[in-house]
């Protein structure tokens, strides 16, 4: 009998790619807002409703649900949604497990590299470093706390938190948006361009989730960020090189981004580096540790 893995955030690129990657070895179920397929089960976080059939004989939960950080301006309402989509969704799952008296083998939760704060410095952050003090740090702190409760409440043997960098994917997420102006020959760095941009290829982030699923000694927080560090300026130049497009446009001034995005602009204008040492020490190997190779794989298709 295959073990059952329940995945939240069914509509996201990582959930879809991960499911394809592990479906031969595991039975996959999804929690989704609107059921379309037999292996999907509906939930509504705002209303606190969930199809309890999703939890029958489940061994592992991979919690990827969470509203997109950079999709909309951070109004007070949007900030609440960003937190609720991560924290309240986890609480709904936790309460259901309590009700059904289920103990998982593992609860594996997405988390954010922004745990350490949105700031550009010479520090390379490791998992045992203190959190930052901005809004994104607050989101991640609450997100991880909700994941830890599965272990402290004895509802999972372990709680793994994957602090995810910017996921580079071919058709979804940040890369198509960043590549669009470069393809038109008007690509340029934003702000100073010196801000670091922790990144990871979509195949590598899915491999980390699979690795965490299969390696039961993994517990706690792990940075999921390529060991090769880059800045916004270097990334933009590499995209232009890979796409064979000119690179001579002036930087987009910070004040323009702040006018367009409000507080969200800070997350675009600042960025820090994160160490990959801990995940590498487990024996995990990146398929795409090199940014140029990753960009060629994703942009040349």
Q: pLDDT per residue over 242-281, tens digit each?
A: 999 988 777 776 766 666 667 666 767 778 999 999 999 9
Report whether 229 contacts 198 (CB < 8 A): yes
Mean pLDDT of 173-192: 86
Residue 221's φ and ψ, nearest 5 degrees, are: -95, 140
Q: Kindly write down the DSSP assignment for every residue of 166-223, as one continuous string.
A: EEE-SSSBHHHHHHHHHHTT----BTTS-SB--EEEHHHHHHHHHHHHH-TT--EEEE
More confident residue, 8 or 177: 8
Report whether 129 contacts 85 (CB < 8 A): no
Q: What is the pLDDT at residue 261? A: 66
Q: What is the pLDDT at residue 250? A: 78
Report whether 93 contacts 63 (CB < 8 A): yes
Task: Read off the tokens for 77.
Answer: 């309402």
pLDDT in tens, 17-31: 999 999 999 999 999
pLDDT in tens, 194-239: 999 999 999 999 999 999 999 999 999 999 999 999 999 999 999 9
Report whether 149 contacts 97 (CB < 8 A): no
The pTM of the full predicted model, rounded to 2 decimals, is: 0.94
Mean pLDDT of 174-180: 87
Report whether 73 contacts 130 (CB < 8 A): no
Task: Read off the tokens for 72.
Answer: 């909309």
Sketch out the chain's domains with CATH numbers.
3-166+200-225+276-287 (3.40.50.720)
pLDDT in tens, 84-124: 999 999 999 999 999 999 999 999 999 999 999 888 888 99
């Amino acid at each position: 009998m295959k073990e059952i893995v329940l995945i939240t955030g069914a509509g996201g690129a990582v959930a879809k790619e991960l499911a394809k990657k592990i479906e031969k070895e595991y039975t996959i179920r999804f929690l989704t807002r609107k059921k379309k397929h037999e292996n999907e089960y509906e939930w509504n976080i705002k209303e606190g409703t969930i199809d309890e059939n999703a939890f029958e004989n489940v061994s592992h939960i991979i919690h990827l649900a969470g509203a997109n950080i950079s999709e909309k301006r951070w109004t007070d309402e949007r900030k609440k949604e960003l937190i609720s989509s991560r924290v309240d969704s986890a609480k709904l799952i936790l309460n259901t497990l309590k009700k059904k008296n289920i103990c998982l083998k593992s609860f594996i939760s997405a988390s954010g590299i922004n745990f350490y704060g949105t700031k550009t410095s010479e520090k390379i952050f490791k998992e045992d470093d203190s959190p930052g003090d901005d809004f994104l740090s607050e989101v991640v702190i609450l997100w991880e706390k909700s994941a830890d409760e599965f272990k402290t409440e004895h509802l999972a043997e372990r709680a793994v938190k994957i602090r995810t960098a910017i996921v580079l994917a071919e058709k979804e997420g940040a890369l198509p948006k960043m590549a669009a102006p470069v393809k038109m020959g008007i690509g340029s760095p934003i702000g100073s361009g010196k801000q670091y941009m922790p990144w990871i290829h979509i195949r590598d982030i899915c491999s980390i989730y699979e690795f965490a699923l299969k390696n039961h000694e993994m517990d706690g927080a792990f940075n999921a960020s390529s060991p090769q560090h880059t800045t916004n300026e270097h990334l933009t130049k590499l995209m232009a090189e890979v796409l064979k497009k000119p690179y001579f446009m002036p930087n987009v001034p910070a004040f323009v981004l702040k006018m367009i995005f409000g507080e969200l602009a800070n997350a675009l204008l600042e960025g820090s580096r994160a160490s990959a040492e801990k995940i590498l020490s487990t024996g995990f190997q990146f398929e795409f540790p090199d940014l140029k190779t990753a960009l060629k794989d994703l942009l040349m298709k």
